[in-house]
Structure 1
Amino acid sequence: MLVPSSQDHLSLLGGLYKDHHLWLFRWLCKKLNCREDAADTAHETFFRLFSFTDLSSVQQPRALLVTTASRLMIDDARRKAVEKRYLEAFLESGAEDAVAPSPEKLAMITDTLFMVAQVLDGLPEKPRTAFLMSRLEGLRYAEIAERLDVSTASVKKYVATAMVHCCRVLGHTDDVFA
């Protein structure tokens, strides 16, 4: 299979945009009930197609656009949920003198937490929970073992499993297996 040249790829993408942007925008307006969010998501959808290697093989462009846009909406919903949980935790922390993070800082924190959530998403519950208790709450393995009602050796195994998983997902396998 030949990968189209950059000019061919841009031409195909431009054709997709011309032929389907308005349709996608209207579809997103119905889904999101907000013209601005629909416009942003439509443009982000086409932007994502820049990395699609062979647009000439696309037989159902609207299906590709809907799938891509749907994934963007899911990611956005997850990101908003992470942001909401962070802000709730911030408010519950009781730090009355603390200043709420700026929008830029909040976006950076949300992006980081979202990335961590995505990395940990593929882990079974106990390794994920043990890892978070260890890294975020700073608990000792004995405390984690007590809370999870398992042995300290199991906690060590869970945390090691989580660390190896994170390194694999992030592409740092050399660091783990050196």
Structure 2
Amino acid sequence: MTSSNLDSVFLAQRMPLLRTLARMVKNPSVAEDLVQETYLRVARTLAERPIDHLEPFLFQTGRNLALDHLRHMRMQSRTLMDDVPDDVIQAVAAPISSAEDGLHAEKLLQRLGSTLSQLTQRQQRIFILSRLHGHGYAEIAEELDVSPSTVQKELKLIMAICMNLLSRLDPPT
């Protein structure tokens, strides 16, 4: 296998690899980083020795990197918790939500729903795929048959509309 073969296999398998890693790490941004690291690792290995079955090797490398990331995060969280005495952890008050906070949240959701219903169907779909499903620009662009820059511009506009809505709401007192 050559570097050009890696490029073509990587480009063909990038989105399935990204989805697989995003499901594993439950963070689209981290999954993007892992996909890039996967490419670099496979390219380094390919420079050292031939790889007969490049596609499975690509996915296995990605999964191994995701598992390493998850192990690291688990160890980090254990270490942070182990360093804090139990009496300090027990002394931290749990957040209590007031009735006013609940009413404010309900009001916010109603206004947000009303605002989002005024968007075009494509804008609504972009918002849902990006913010609720965690898809990246390229993945959304592919699904909607538009360019990634169109997705980015639409999402920027949608977020500006949402931020404008938030700025007009009175915070709870």
Q: Is this a same-fold pair by TM over 0.5?
A: no
TM-score tier, shorter chain, comes to: 0.3 to 0.5
Q: Pick 1 or 2: higher relative contact order, CA cutoff 8 A, min separation 6.
A: 2
Q: What is the TM-score normalised by the length of structure 2? A: 0.42
Q: What is the TM-score normalised by the length of structure 1? A: 0.41
